[in-house]
Structures are given as structure tokens and as C-alpha cells.
Amino acid sequence: AQKITQTQPGMFVQEKEAVTLDCTYDTSDPSYGLFWYKQPSSGEMIFLIYQGSYDQQNATEGRYSLNFQKARKSANLVISASQLGDSAMYFCAMRRPSGGYNKLIFGAGTRLAVHP
């Protein structure tokens, strides 16, 4: 069965520092996609970054990068130069590998607090 595990219920970081949010996944399919979403208190799930299982390079989007270690089945999110506005819940998700459409399986999330 496919599963996403986020072992850090909460993290805090000092403003302007970098922080890594952990995500491990379990799937037996060779083709899959991995996502990170940010959920502020307003509730909206904001797409941050995507990594395909066949992508050779780690995905980057501005201050966000994904540390993809396929053999370890990990897809950690790195946020560089943290800002106060980064305080939110962060969810790692995996796309169901077959069928083509984006049925996502989410982890339980990590609450990030950025301190000034």
C-alpha cells in the first residue's frame, strides 16, 4: 500500500535560517510523483514543488528545493532563508502512480513556526 510518513509534528526555525522538513514514502510502483503543499491557517493548500520519480535532478522553486533520495524513498523539503510568512502546516503528498490523474495521498503534516 502507498503511504506517506512525516515524522516531525512540529518544527521551528529562526528567521533567515534554512529548515528541512522530512518526508518518506512507500510505494512499489516505479512511476510516481511527489508534491509539497503549504497550508496556512486560512485553509488553502498552496502548491510548492513537484518531483517526478524519473526526474534526474532535484526540483527547485525559488526558496524551495526538494532533496529527493530515491533509494531511501525520501523527499525532504528544504526552505532556505525562512520568512515569518512561512509559518504554516506543510504536507508531503504522493500521486497515485496509475491512472494518470492526480489522486494524492497525503502525510499527516508538519507545523513550521518561524521565529523572528
Partner 1 sequence: DTGVSQDPRHKITKRGQNVTFRCDPISEHNRLYWYRQTLGQGPEFLTYFQNEAQLEKSRLLSDRFSAERPKGSFSTLEIQRTEQGDSAMYLCASSSDTGDSGNTIYFGEGSWLTVV
* List 28, 44, 72, 116, residue binding partner 1 (CB under 8 A): 44
- In angstroms, what is the minimal distance from the CB of 46 to partner 1? 8
Apex 31 CA angle, 68 and 26, nearest 5:
60
Q: Does 43 bind partner 1 (CB under 8 A)?
A: yes
Q: Does residue 64 belong to the site contacting partner 1 (CB under 8 A)?
A: no
Asked if 93 is part of the footprint of partner 1 (rule: CB under 8 A), the reply reads: yes
Smallest separation, CB 109 to partner 1 (Å): 6
Helix (H, G, I), strand (E, B) or coil at 73: coil
Collapse the DSSP code of 54 into the 3-class scheme (helix H, G, I; strand E, B; otherwise coil) and give the result.
coil
Among the residues of the chain, which ranges form H helices?
Answer: none
Q: Which is nearer to partner 1, 76 or 109 (CB)?
A: 109
- Piece in contact with partner 1 (CB under 8 A), picked from 13-21, 23-31, 39-47, 71-79: 39-47
| Sign of the torsion angle spanned by Cα atoms 71, 75, 79, 84 | negative
Residue range at the interface with partner 1 (CB under 8 A); choices 18-26, 31-39, 63-71, 78-86 = 31-39
Residue 68 neighbours by CB distance under 10 Å: 20
Rounded-to-integer distance, Cα 54 and Cα 31, Å: 7
Q: Which of 68, 109, 112, 114 binds partner 1 (CB under 8 A)?
A: 109
